[in-house]
Amino acid sequence: MAAEEVEQQSPPPASVSPPRSATPRPSAKLGPKHVVPLGGAQMSARRRVLESRLPVEPDPDESADPSSSTGVPDTLEPSAYSLRGGALGAGGSRGPVSERARGELEGPSAPRSALGSGPRWLGREGSGAERAPGSSAHAGPVLAMSPRMTALFGGLFGLATVTTIIALLIQGAPPRDDRAAAAAAASASAPVEAAAAAALQVPTPKKRERTKLPGPWRIADIAKDPAVRVVEDTMGRRSFIAALGEKGVPKDQVYRVLKAFDELKKFDKTGKNDKFIVALDRKDSRVVAFEYIVSPLEVLQAKEVDGLLVAAQLDMKIAEEEVVGAFYVGKSFARSAEWGGFEPDLARVIDEAFAGKTSHEGLDEGGFVRVVATEVTALGEFVRYKNVVALEYKPPDPAATPLRAYSYQGVGARGYFDDKGRQPDGSGWGSPTPGAPITSRFNPKRMHPVLKKVMPHNGTDYGAPTGTPIYAVFRGKLTHVGPAGPCGLMVAIMHPNGIESGYCHMSKIAPGLKVGATVGTRQNIGQVGTTGRSTGPHLHFWTKKNGKFFDSETLKIDGFRVIPVEERAAYQARKAELDARLDGIALPDPPPAEALAKAPAPADDTRPDVGAGGDDEAADAPKAAAKAPKSDKPLQIDPGDGDEIIGADLKK
């Protein structure tokens, strides 16, 4: 039906009701969400939904029609329905309907099959229909989608929109320079990282720079040769023939080695610490090479040449050089010396230079040491210190007088001398109470002043007031610390060569002392007192040799020699020169506490006693002292020379 024909129809009277067979009766009132059935009685619900979504356009003819604002009657004839007036129900207005929509809706009712089962498109009007003037033309069919499809396409459209915006922003932003950003971040964080690294860096001691030199051929160069078997050992107390025989060297080969060294070295006297290395042919156990090492400075070698062993002393490129420096004295002398750039062997030459005055164990923490020494190297590597040229120890107390020692090689005087030109008299033993007078000497047949009977006085008494410092007469290891019966509070020390010293009637024992600890020469070990069997404050000092008491004055305590008169001028000139060199050494700042706190335990001191005795006995003495067991048996000590005094420190 054409649009013009639709407009010419007049609305049916309100009283006329549609036949029951034509269409069901709608509800009494239609709201904005209700759809009036259009197009016939057989209109399905799906078509009503599709038709309700048709676009509507304003109708100029209905704007003046007063009936356009009226409501839709409760009953409508499908054929009498007018599209004039866009009101479909109370409270809701759908607006005017387009001319095309009117034509499509008022035409004959399309059968359900006309919609088909294909896509849900509303077809055009019949080709014979004419369009009314002014009606809007559609370029194509109208697509009606379900709410689900509408939401899906809406979401996709929104996602595409967001993606497009992000792409535009990326294209509009300047390109990122990762290298420049990384460089800027590194430059900004460099000062912070450097400060953190400096704070976390563990301080390390400085090392003296030395250049290693190439050396001669050694047996170590063929140690990995599968045709050679290498054995090595130290001599110990064995003979040369027995030592090599125990390592599997045939006796005929041992004599072959002795023959090679016939004019260079005699092996009838060997040191227990001497080392030998033998290279044997695996097929016939023939000696291919042999080395005998006395020290890094003295290495003897025999090497097979054309079937014969040829012996020679190796050139180790020995050199001497002066080293100068200073260091702070901490809890560990070895660690302190290392921090100053010196080797642990410095302790040995310091003990020699300060013999009778002090030792490296007796240097107090907080002091400073200035040193000029001569070191010996082999193949560019350190071996030992030859001697001390000049040495100074500054105690922690600024008021204390520094202690100095000088090396002097004159005509009639050689060795180390102090600032007054005095030299220890060979023994190195110091006084336990410097300056204190002797009040009672060693006497095996003395009449006891209290007990009134003959009782040996196995020691030497030094008279001094209570509180006077007591010092160790020589370096050694503690064997007793604490109460000792009539001797009161006592400290006993084992020295090299089997000599032991004891200090009785002490009022106080220095803190930190315990059995097995090492003490140095002139190290403070306590204070004079009157504990035990005593008539008054004094020090009872006793000494033993291999467990037997002997007179301590035979040790030449505080003994010294002086430079001859004819050489004193030369010594004073030498001393002035060395004083200037010591004064020119700047004192270092104390190292960080954690640097010296991690100090390793000092090794056993094997330096031989400067007094009587051989090297082997001196080396064994510290070990014997370290192995001294604790015993519940009373010590064999001098019972003292006075009546028994009971004090609080005896806990009686």
Tell me what the mean pLDDT of segment 624-652 comes to: 40
- What pLDDT, on the 0 to 100 scale, is given for residue 292? 96
DSSP 3-state of 281:
strand
- What pLDDT, on the 0 to 100 scale, is given for residue 329? 93
Task: Fill in the DSSP letter of residue 118.
Answer: S
Please report which confidence band the pLDDT of residue 131 belongs to, taking 50, 70 and 90 as the band edges.
Answer: very low
Highest mean pLDDT among 147-156, 245-254, 642-651: 245-254
27-31, 40-44, 382-386, 471-475: least confident range: 27-31
Please report which confidence band the pLDDT of residue 134 belongs to, taking 50, 70 and 90 as the band edges.
Answer: very low
Q: Which residue has the tokens 């901490």?
A: 330
Residue, of 357 and 514, whose pLDDT is higher: 514
- Contact, 466 vs 527, CB < 8 A? yes
Residue, of 278 and 557, whose pLDDT is higher: 278
pLDDT at 219 over 70: yes
How many whole angstroms separate alpha carbon 513 and alpha carbon 519?
A: 9
333-342, 425-434, 594-603: least confident range: 594-603
Cα first-last separation, the chain:
139
157-171, 221-235, 286-300, 488-502: least confident range: 157-171
- What pLDDT, on the 0 to 100 scale, is given for residue 21? 44
196-210, 232-246, 556-570: least confident range: 196-210
Tell me whether the CATH fold assigned to 219-313 matches the one assigned to 319-429+584-597.
yes
Please report which confidence band the pLDDT of residue 36 belongs to, taking 50, 70 and 90 as the band edges.
Answer: very low
DSSP 3-state of 309:
strand
pLDDT at 195 over 70: no
Region for 613 from its dihedrals, namely left if φ exceeds 0, alpha if ψ lies in -120 to 50, beta otherwise: left
Task: Indicate the CATH number for domain 438-558+629-650.
Answer: 2.70.70.10
Domain residue limits, the chain: 1-118, 219-313, 319-429+584-597, 438-558+629-650
Please report which confidence band the pLDDT of residue 160 belongs to, taking 50, 70 and 90 as the band edges.
Answer: confident
How many whole angstroms separate alpha carbon 78 and alpha carbon 71?
A: 16
213-222, 231-240, 623-632: least confident range: 623-632
How many whole angstroms separate alpha carbon 442 and alpha carbon 56?
A: 140
Closest among 247, 224, 225 to 235, alpha carbons compared = 247
Tell me what the mean pLDDT of segment 114-135 comes to: 44
- What pLDDT, on the 0 to 100 scale, is given for residue 187? 62
pLDDT at 483 over 90: yes
Tell me what the mean pLDDT of segment 107-111 comes to: 46
Looking at the structure, give the CATH architecture of the domain made up of residues 319-429+584-597. Roll (3.10)
CB burial class (10 A; 0-12, 13-18, 19+) of residue 492?
Answer: buried
pLDDT at 5 over 70: no
Tell me what the mean pLDDT of segment 630-645 comes to: 44
- What pLDDT, on the 0 to 100 scale, is given for residue 180? 61
- What pLDDT, on the 0 to 100 scale, is given for residue 48? 73
- What pLDDT, on the 0 to 100 scale, is given for residue 456? 80
- What pLDDT, on the 0 to 100 scale, is given for residue 56? 55
- Contact, 433 vs 469, CB < 8 A? yes
Which strand (E) or helix (H) includes residue 375?
A: strand 368-378
Share of the chain above pLDDT 90, in %: 38
For the whole model, what pTM was predicted?
0.56
Q: How does the average pLDDT of the chain come out, rounded? A: 74
26-30, 154-158, 563-567, 648-652: least confident range: 648-652
CATH number assigned to the domain with residue range 219-313, chosen from the 4 options 2.30.30.90, 3.40.50.1370, 3.10.450.350, 3.30.413.10: 3.10.450.350
Please report which confidence band the pLDDT of residue 629 belongs to, taking 50, 70 and 90 as the band edges.
Answer: very low
Please report which confidence band the pLDDT of residue 158 belongs to, taking 50, 70 and 90 as the band edges.
Answer: confident
Region for 557 from its dihedrals, namely left if φ exceeds 0, alpha if ψ lies in -120 to 50, beta otherwise: beta
Distances (CA, A) of 340 to 345, 380, 581: 13, 20, 17
pLDDT at 618 over 70: no
Summarize pLDDT for 320-352 with one digit per residue, the tens. 999 999 999 998 888 899 989 999 999 999 989
Summarize pLDDT for 538-579 with one digit per residue, the tens. 999 999 998 899 998 888 787 778 888 899 999 999 999 999
Residue, of 128 and 227, whose pLDDT is higher: 227
pLDDT at 140 over 80: no
| 275-281 sheet: strands from edge to edge | 228-234, 275-281, 287-295, 298-305, 308-313
Tell me what the mean pLDDT of segment 455-472 comes to: 90
Share of the chain above pLDDT 70, in %: 62
pLDDT at 194 over 80: no
Summarize pLDDT for 301-323 with one digit per residue, the tens. 999 999 899 999 999 999 999 99
Distances (CA, A) of 574 to 159, 165, 403, 418, 419: 98, 93, 17, 12, 11
Summarize pLDDT for 529-539 with one digit per residue, the tens. 999 888 889 99
- What pLDDT, on the 0 to 100 scale, is given for residue 126? 41
